[in-house]
Amino acid sequence: MMKIAILGYGRMGKTIEQIALDRNHEIVYKTSEKINTEELQKAEVAIDFSIPDAAFENITTCFKNNIPVVSGTTGWLDRYEEAVKICNENKGAFIYASNFSLGVNLFFQLNENLAKLMSKFKEYTVAIEEIHHTKKLDKPSGTAITLSESILPYTQKEDWKLVEEDEKASANQIPVVAKREEDVKGTHSIKYSSAIDDIEIKHTAHSREGFALGAVIAAEWLSDKTGVFTMKDVLGL
């Protein structure tokens, strides 16, 4: 049994709470406000699913209070390296993932394997599409960014670019389309197109439980460790 702090008590935070309780853990602190460090210190591990503007402070406050932290908040990664530095300075423990779902992490591996295979066939061009619910604040999703960055090393592209559905990216960019629709948990597709045919892989989430379960499993794995890790470490991929 672990004592868990939940940082960001919205829909995902509440789902994480239920799964953690089902797995016999104790929730000792939950907040969507500025962290009360006295309350935070009751926890053995923290799970952050807050908002982009709060994530960096939440995460680094955990490091400074010797609390291992798992974060699934996206939209703050311009400060990721700074967070890693603070983690290492404080001998902390940290896992960030754009998506904690087991299925998505298998999809990440499938995406990378397909990118390696397709690198030999220059007649195909790659594009990414993601669809999420209308309350998701950041575009594109962190998952779409992870997918894009995993493809780049196997192409002649230099970067990815967020585009509208009918807009084209430049020749050295992977186009990423982000759509927002009511009550969509998360859909990601990668399409390789040529004049002759298309090859497409797709992941569709049916509920938030997969994300939440993965985050709790990551917290269980991280609780006695020091360092910076990924879901590949947790899942042995």
Residues involved in catalysis:
132, 136
Q: Residue 88, exposed/middle/buried by CB under 10 A (0-12, 13-18, 19+)? A: middle
Taking the alpha carbons at both ends of the chain, their separation in whole angstroms is 26
Long-range CB pairs of 23-30, under 8 A, 24+ apart, other chains included: 23/216, 23/220, 25/1, 25/216, 26/1, 26/2, 28/3, 28/4, 29/5, 30/5, 30/6
- Give the contacts of 10 (CB within 8 A, at least 6 positions apart): 32, 49
Q: Which SS3 state, helix, strand or coil, does residue 134 take?
A: coil
**Backbone dihedral angles phi then psi of residue 202, each to the nearest 5 degrees:** -150, 140
Q: How far apart are CA 104 and CA 143, in angstroms?
A: 8
